[in-house]
Amino acid sequence: MSQALLSVAQRTTADGVHVVALAGDIDHTTAGTFRQALPPPDGSTPHTVVDFRNVTFMDSSGINVLVAANNAARSRGGSLRLARTPTPVLDLLRIVGLDDLIPLHPTLEDALAPPAAA
Cα–Cα distance, 91 to 66 (Å, whole number): 15
Average pLDDT, the chain: 91
The predicted-structure confidence for 5-55, as pLDDT tens digits, reads as follows 999 999 999 988 999 999 999 999 999 999 999 988 777 778 999 999 999
Burial label, 24 (beta-carbon count in 10 A; 0-12, 13-18, 19+): middle
Cα–Cα distance, 68 to 75 (Å, whole number): 11
Cα–Cα distance, 61 to 76 (Å, whole number): 23
Note if the pTM is more than 0.85: yes
Supply the pLDDT for residue 108: 97
The predicted-structure confidence for 62-110, as pLDDT tens digits, reads as follows 999 999 999 999 998 899 999 999 999 999 999 999 999 999 999 999 9
Supply the pLDDT for residue 47: 92
Work out whether the CA dihedral 67, 71, 72, 77 comes out positive or negative: positive
